[in-house]
Amino acid sequence: MTEPAPQTTPGTPASAAPRPLALVTGASSGIGRATAVGLATDGFDVIVHYGGNREGAERTAELADEAGAATALLPIDLEGLDDAAGFWDAVTAVAAERFGARQLDALVSNAGVDLRRPFAEYMHAEVVRLFQVNAIAPLHILQGVAAGVRPGGSVVAISSVAATQPLATSLPYGATKAALDHLVRATAALVAEQGIRVNAVSPGAVDTPLQQPERIALLRERGIAASPEEIADVVRTLVSPATRWVTGQVIDATGRPLR
């Protein structure tokens, strides 16, 4: 598989004492953008991954730049990602070009797709796409964590309440997130001796481009839909040293008691 060459954006050059480096996948909008900008505010330089929405990624990079970060764009189509090297070779290249040869301090695996329809109407290709982007691509990303993230670093994946509370019109999506939860717990055990923490955040309804605006507006009126920034705050907490004893966990971020 041939990946597009990494591309960089202007910003402050790396200093003698570089800021920690974070990578956020699916950072063109929504939770990914809010997380990238939030981590920039927390003192990280940021690699902004995107699939097809370059304009959105550039806007995210601009906002992170304004927050004090040096940034780089990383275009990788996760629908075509079929091995770990396809992802991590590109990450290594952009990190070396823009930030010097160093490992990530934080990785946020946020990119995902959703599709809502009656279960009986899902087509095979649609189910394959959901699993490819939401579970298989993250699997390949997690395969490279031991080499790509420094000891003491943090990995956070964005899961969903649908993994444990099935939604009638989104059953394949929930299955992909259940697979992701398993991968997070398993990877946390595999890299624990290296001091790398791996956790997931499980939101409920969030006001992102994946959601129907009318549904989100109704849920926000009822106080049960989060903003991207509110979920990003949970991610930032898991990245921070304040949660250095937390790993292998799927953190409920629905704002509601567990059933």
Burial of residue 55 (CB within 10 Å: 0-12, 13-18, 19+) is exposed
Q: Tokens for 109?
A: 């695996």
Is 173 noted as a catalytic residue in this protein?
A: yes
Backbone dihedral region of 111: left (phi > 0), alpha (psi from -120 to 50 degrees) or beta? beta
Domain boundaries, the chain: 17-253
pLDDT tens for the 259 residues of the chain, in order: 334 444 444 444 444 578 999 999 999 999 999 999 999 999 999 999 999 999 999 999 999 999 999 999 999 999 999 999 999 999 999 999 999 878 999 999 999 999 999 999 999 999 999 999 999 999 999 999 999 999 999 999 999 999 999 888 889 999 999 999 999 999 999 999 999 999 999 998 777 666 555 555 555 555 567 889 999 999 999 999 999 999 999 999 988 765 5
What residues contact 233, with CB distance under 8 A and at least 6 apart?
38
Q: Which CATH superfamily is domain 17-253 in?
A: NAD(P)-binding Rossmann-like Domain (3.40.50.720)
d(CA 139, CA 257): 29
Q: Which of 173, 196, 205, 250 is catalytic?
A: 173
